């Protein structure tokens, strides 16, 4: 049990489908992240939420749409994806101190392996 | 700007022999550095962290890393490799924007 739970573990979808990835953290953290891990590329930060507010969007295409209804849950809504979007999508959480640059190490979930056909 | 460079994409050792995974960093101020490990089809697990306290940092599973400012290095070591250590290891630095900056990873293979 990592404290960060992602579902589903595996997902195969066609380019016209709509699906959502879910992430839940049980650590009481106040920041949540989506990362994309593709083969032979460094981890790419996609989105950051602090206290449920999106604070970073790393030029991610609009076919990826994040949602953070509360500080424990994070979703990534997917629609009209491309085959190059196939990757491992990792959710993470951390504890940030407001008004400071302090941030605890990130805790990661086991990821969702996404295949776009 | 902060960055990390992992000098080896793949390291192979025999079980029971020492492990050395190399990482150099670049930072305009005293960095916070981490090593994460990723086993196949798993997420990333924090091995250890350096946050300007002791320069020799001990982590889980017998791993440790030494922060050397003069060499801008943060190499990961373990005295004796175990088969279960086979995984991918990432050297990571906190960026000035409050984000994590990952190295490209080093795959560690352990031969029986």
Show the tokens assigned to A26. Answer: 């049980």
Q: Say if the Cβ atoms of A90 and B41 lie within 8 Å.
A: no
Which among B65, B66, B62 is positioned nearest to B79, based on CA atoms? B62
Q: Note the pLDDT of residue A1.
A: 52
Q: Say if the Cβ atoms of B49 and A48 lie within 8 Å.
A: no
Distance from CA of A110 to the nearest CA of B (A): 4
Show the tokens assigned to B72. Answer: 């801008």
* pLDDT tens for each residue of B57-104: 999 999 999 999 999 999 999 999 999 999 999 999 987 766 788 999
Strand blocks (E) in A26-110? 31-37, 44-50, 53-57, 64-70, 73-79, 87-94, 107-108
Q: How far is CA A111 from CA A2, A11, B41, in A?
A: 11, 11, 8
Which among B42, B14, B60, B72 is positioned nearest to A6, based on CA atoms? B42
The DSSP bridge pattern shows strands A112-116 and A10-13 to be parallel
* pLDDT tens for each residue of B40-51: 888 899 999 998
CA–CA separation, B109 and A101 (whole Å): 37
Show the tokens assigned to B38. Answer: 């990723």
Residue B53 pLDDT > 90, yes or no?
no
- One digit per residue, pLDDT tens: chain A, 117 residues? 569 999 999 999 988 889 999 999 999 999 999 999 998 788 888 998 887 777 777 789 999 999 999 989 999 999 999 999 999 999 999 998 777 666 788 999 999 999 999
Residue B90 CB-half CA count within 13 A: 22
Q: Note the pLDDT of residue A55.
A: 76
Q: Note the pLDDT of residue A16.
A: 86
Which residues on B lie below 8 Å from A107 (Cβ)?
A: 46
Q: Say if the Cβ atoms of B46 and A110 lie within 8 Å.
A: no
Q: Note the pLDDT of residue B51.
A: 82
CB B28 within 8 A of CB B1: yes
């Amino acid at each position: 049990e990592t404290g960060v739970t992602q579902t589903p573990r595996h997902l195969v979808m066609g380019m016209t489908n709509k699906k959502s990835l879910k992430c839940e953290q049980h650590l009481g953290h106040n920041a949540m992240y989506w990362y994309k891990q593709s083969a032979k590329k460094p981890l790419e930060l996609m989105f950051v939420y602090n206290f449920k507010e999106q604070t970073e969007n790393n030029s991610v295409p609009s076919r990826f749409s994040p949602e953070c209804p509360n500080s424990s849950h994070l979703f990534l809504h997917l629609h009209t994806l491309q085959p190059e979007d196939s990757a491992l999508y990792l959710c993470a959480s951390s504890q940030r101190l407001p008004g400071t640059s302090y941030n605890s190490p990130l805790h990661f979930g086991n990821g969702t392996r996404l295949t776009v056909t | 700007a902060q960055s990390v460079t992992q000098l080896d994409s793949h390291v192979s050792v025999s079980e029971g022999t020492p492990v050395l995974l190399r990482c150099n960093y670049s930072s305009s101020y005293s960095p916070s550095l981490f090593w994460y490990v990723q086993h196949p089809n798993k997420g990333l697990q924090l091995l250890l962290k350096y946050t300007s306290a002791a320069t020799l940092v001990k982590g889980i599973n017998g791993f440790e890393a030494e922060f050397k400012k003069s060499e801008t290095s943060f190499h990961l070591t373990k005295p004796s490799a175990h088969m279960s250590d086979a995984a991918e290891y990432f050297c990571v630095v906190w960026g000035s924007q409050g984000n994590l900056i990952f190295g490209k990873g080093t795959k560690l293979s352990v031969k029986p």
